[in-house]
Structure 1
Amino acid sequence: MIAILVYTPLGTLFAPPNYMDTEELLNLREKVLQLEESASAQNLYIKNLRQLLSGEVIVDADSSVTQIHEDSIANIPRIEEDEQLRRTFDLDQQLEKVGSNQIANTAPSKPLNQLYLVPPITGSISMPFDPEKNHLGVDINAPPNTAIKSIMDGYIIFAGWTLETGNTIGIQHDNNLISFYKHNSSLLKSTGTYVKAGEAVAIIGNTGTLSSGPHLHFELWQSGKPVDPQNYINFE
């Protein structure tokens, strides 16, 4: 009987279970940890992007700065609760789409003064970068129907509407750089699209409660912090 079990295929029916060895278990554990880290990075990226879109500054934990709003306005009209919920839901959907496809670039950043940035439009600056007055970008006046251009190659990480900034485009570039183009009359690209430097992404406009006239509100962020676009781009 023993010989039958050992030396014939019948023995495989009674073979002891093939438990994974220690190395296999360690490899599986490492893969699980990598998946957890990837999910955490995605969630953090979505959280940071939401802060950027809402005008908050992403800061270190020991910073005393909590929130900076991009523009000031005396009265913001109230909208119906269901409309607000719908718009919030739409924003969440776009951010989830972004997070599932495009994680923020973690490669070492080059200094901005070593990069060539295409002017999104040319025109006169009506309001400069002034973080002390909670203005985290520059306002540029230009004729109606002017095309807004991407400053560098990159992926559209947000293309949609918000209450305060109207039709808004956000583009993720290399070097941990994000550019925002706000108050547009219309958007020419959708979330997830890859664009080249100088490619038209929107049309200048006057949308959103923080806009008081046709213009482009342009913001430039590097590693989660706003920088003065006029230091790196010639808008004239």
Structure 2
Amino acid sequence: MHGDGQELGEVQREHWEQTYGAHPRMYGDRPSDPAVHAAESFRAAGARDVLELGAGHGRDALFFARSGFTVLATDFSLVGLSRLREAATAEGLAEKVTTAVHDVRDPLPLADASVDAVFAHMLLCMALSTEEIHALVAEVRRVLRPGGTFVYTVRHTGDAHYTAGTGHGDDIWEHGGFAVHFFPRHLVDALAEGWESAEVHPFEEGELPRRLWRVTQTLRR
């Protein structure tokens, strides 16, 4: 992001740092339903290693490690990743989990075709511009091996918080301190162009409830 967008991104980074500091287990210890689905998809595709983007305090990264995958967990929150490393050590999973502080507005710190699978739960729908989202998915494509699987979830324009709160343009709305880029369906379709297949599954999560899509797309072998 540039200008106002860059500033919004930095505000969001600080907000997440404070949130993880005040609520170290804010999402609990159980894996998200999308992570359970992703693990099944990754296993069926023969994946051994997983890159998780926006891992937070690590409930899904730890689940992937317990499921036998080697995990690289990234987030822009140093606090969240510190909690993840502590939990991995406590569970005897330290050798299965590596962490890296990373802002997804920057290129991924990985070589071309170097991972089997990528997972991102509600990361693409943070305060990222449409241009930045396209660039991130291009990076995911770059680092995935042929036949690799990408599972991501996003809140969409049918969500109750869409158009609520403060509008920042580009379908980004801020509510309760959290800025969300709500996805229209045509954006999901555009991000799937050039991939071998893409499944879009609608689901709900939380008390509001949040309305999301779970997207599973694979690269050609």
State the TM-score, normalized to the length of structure 2. Answer: 0.27
Q: TM-score, normalised by structure 1?
A: 0.26
Of the two, which has the highest radius of gyration?
1
Which protein is richer in strand relative to its size?
A: 2
